[in-house]
Chain A
Amino acid sequence: MQAILDAISLGGTYALAALGLGLVFGVMRLVNFAHAELITISAYVMVVTNDLPLLISFLLAALVAALLAILTELAIYRRLRGTGPAIMLIASFGLSVGLQKSYELIFGALPRSAAVAPWMTGSFEIAGLNITISSIVTVAITIVILLAMGYLIERTTLGLQLRAAATDFKTARLLGVRSNRLIGSAFAISGILASAVGFILVVENPQVDPMFGLNITILALVGIVIGGISSLRGAALGGFIVGFILSILNTFLGNARVYAYSYLFLAVVIILLVRPGGILSKRNEMERV
């Protein structure tokens, strides 16, 4: 039971990370490696402002992450639009390393730690099952955010534009979608999602170092591709699947759990070979790059 709850909560966290990446990819075909540093900076902000009330500390983190996301868009990605995904991917990696090194200069290379929301590390018992509070809270946060994102994407004008842009950016522009504003909003939302991920991670592991967000971002990237990169739902689903599989593998592999990533990556290759467009893709369409 705890294993399944853990898997769901990890899957949910990965889904949030994947959704943030998928949003940005949808509007500008950018695989944003620097999403990791958005997660990291929000975790740093929460550790540094740990004395403030939790809600304020979190809002500050979300604000900083969203601003940083918009800043990277304005300073770098905007000027690389239309150069092709490979160039933008390499640029985002450069940015990612650059930000990591900046964090190292600002916060030091050693981990900074603080007990963020210590009450969440406790556990309680239901029907003889020991359940940690953090896994419940994580699942709750994930569900709330996914519902909110679902509402935003399905019911609002911004969401309509995001979906339109993810399907066909050029046509969406021709129909009057303001590309700069839309891309800016996508970056801001991805920053906020990154801060939610940062919060969940920093509760589980309060040791924040410059590489804090890297692991989950890489795996979420893998997730959005296997889920189906052309739709946000696919991205979130793919992220969830990766987190879920990883957590289950960690539980059931026993001593062989160090090889969990090997099995995961093998599964990824097989899924991509069977369905190159991702699990949610309907047919084998060629990517328009």
Chain B
Amino acid sequence: MSKNLAGLTRFSARELLGPLMTVLVLSIGVGAISASLQLAVQFALCNLVMVIALQVFVGNSGVLSFGHGAFAMVGAWVSGMSTASERVKGNALALQELWQPLIGFKLNLYLSIFIAMAVGAAIAALTGAFLMRLNGLAAGIATFALLGLFYNFFFNNITLGPGSQALPAVPKFEGIYEPLAMALIAIVIVYFFNISATARSLRASREDLLAAPALGVSIQRVRWIAFTISGALAGLSGAMYVHVAGTWQVQDYYLVFTFLTLAMLVIGGSASLWGAVVGTLVVTAVGQILLLWEQGKSILGIQLDLPNGARSLIIAGSLVAMLLWRFAGVTNGKEFKVPFLGKRRSS
């Protein structure tokens, strides 16, 4: 995929603390400015978890996946459906034909998120057992078909969910600390996976599809492991999203979500965990600034009156421009070490 041989090899506290501290400081700092920014931070954290889920698989293996939206969709459905209030599930217009046992089904918020992760992992493991044989574009299209299948099912099914409408009254997180903690945990999980032998074998297969098996790497096996882990994280991202939005709607996890998160990964640089963090940050920041301009507010003294709809156009344009400028991503596949902490390794 790239000529860039970047990737973590051994544990370094400074490399782990880099993304952790960046996310922590920015989330709390930006979230403290205003209520609307706090909500934006919550959504950004959901996207961040999705982007690092994609990094685990797409970044390490070099195989494109459009299927992660499906895992997020199911994760969100599990967590949303099992925590929404029984009164609403029994009475909402969109849920007239909901399967009876689902109405009384109620779980603790955190337990439901954990189950959402498990379900995401299970579906990824099950489908991955077949899909991991595919390479290149065939893999991309097959995972896309997976997304399309889940979307089509949930969009039309009214016994298991609200169909094309929304499931209302899903309990929300109380502030940024819950999603923040989850995002930080996800970063730690991914960091330890990325320095593992499995992830290194997977990156070897990314660089050379023929040489890696010759050195004893079972490509299908290492891909499957990464796919399952990233399925769990995508499930987590969906579950977080449903508790930030307070509602579940199948459209939220389809094309726009899939491509926005993939674009974040590619813009940041898919080869590194730091790239996933930077990509999410850059795209979110550009989007927020444009949103403020669209609303006629000034940022650092600059005020532009953007017409409605110009925002998405500029985001799409800057996405393309960033790829033209630096196609390996802003970080170029490098990790970020916290400076001045511990001894510098002379390597």
Q: Which A residues have a C-beta under 8 Å from some C-beta of B?
A: 31, 76, 79-80, 83-87, 89-91, 93-95, 97-98, 101-102, 104-105, 109, 218, 221-222, 225-226, 229, 258-259, 261-262, 265-266, 268-269, 272-273, 276-278, 286-287, 289
> In whole angstroms, what is the CA distance A85 to B62 when docked?
11
List A contacts of B130 (CB < 8 A): 269, 273
Given contacts A86-B58, A91-B320, A218-B144, 6 further A-B contacts (CB under 8 A): A98-B313, A105-B307, A225-B140, A268-B142, A268-B145, A272-B138
Name the distance in Å between A136's Cβ and chain B's nearest Cβ.
Answer: 31
B2 at the interface (CB under 8 A from A): yes
Given contacts A90-B323, A261-B149, A286-B209, contact A84 B1 (CB under 8 A): yes
Given contacts A87-B327, A229-B137, contact A262 B149 (CB under 8 A): yes
> In whole angstroms, what is the CA distance A31 to B139 when docked?
13
Chain B interface mostly helix, strand, loop or mixed?
Answer: helix
Name the distance in Å between A26's Cβ and chain B's nearest Cβ.
Answer: 12
- The residues in B between 147 and 202 inclusive whose CB is less than 8 angstroms from any CB of A are 148-149, 152-153, 155-156
B100 at the interface (CB under 8 A from A): no
List B contacts of A80 (CB < 8 A): 323-324, 327
List A contacts of B339 (CB < 8 A): none
Q: Could you name 30 residue pairs across A and B whose Cβ atoms are closer than 8 Å?
A: A31-B140, A83-B323, A84-B2, A86-B270, A87-B327, A91-B319, A94-B320, A97-B259, A97-B312, A98-B316, A101-B309, A101-B312, A105-B307, A105-B309, A222-B144, A225-B141, A229-B137, A259-B153, A265-B145, A269-B145, A269-B146, A272-B134, A272-B138, A272-B145, A273-B131, A273-B133, A273-B142, A278-B138, A286-B210, A287-B137
* A225: nearest chain-B partner, CB-CB: B141
Given contacts A222-B144, A287-B138, contact A276 B133 (CB under 8 A): yes
List A contacts of B263 (CB < 8 A): 90, 93-94
- Contact in complex: B156, A258 (CB < 8 Å): yes
Mask, B283-322, CB within 8 Å of A = 1, is 0000000000000000000000001011011001101100
* B1: nearest chain-A partner, CB-CB: A84
Name the distance in Å between A229's Cβ and chain B's nearest Cβ.
Answer: 6
Q: What is the interface residue range for chain B against chain A? A: 35 or more
List B contacts of A91 (CB < 8 A): 319-320, 323-324
- Contact in complex: A86, B64 (CB < 8 Å): yes
- Contact in complex: A93, B259 (CB < 8 Å): yes
- A-B CB contacts (within 8 Å), total count: 135
List A contacts of B262 (CB < 8 A): 90
- Contact in complex: A94, B316 (CB < 8 Å): yes
* B63: nearest chain-A partner, CB-CB: A86
List A contacts of B64 (CB < 8 A): 86, 89
* B152: nearest chain-A partner, CB-CB: A261
B266 at the interface (CB under 8 A from A): yes
- Contact in complex: A268, B327 (CB < 8 Å): no
- Contact in complex: A287, B135 (CB < 8 Å): yes
List A contacts of B104 (CB < 8 A): none
List B contacts of A98 (CB < 8 A): 313, 316-317, 320
- Contact in complex: A85, B309 (CB < 8 Å): no
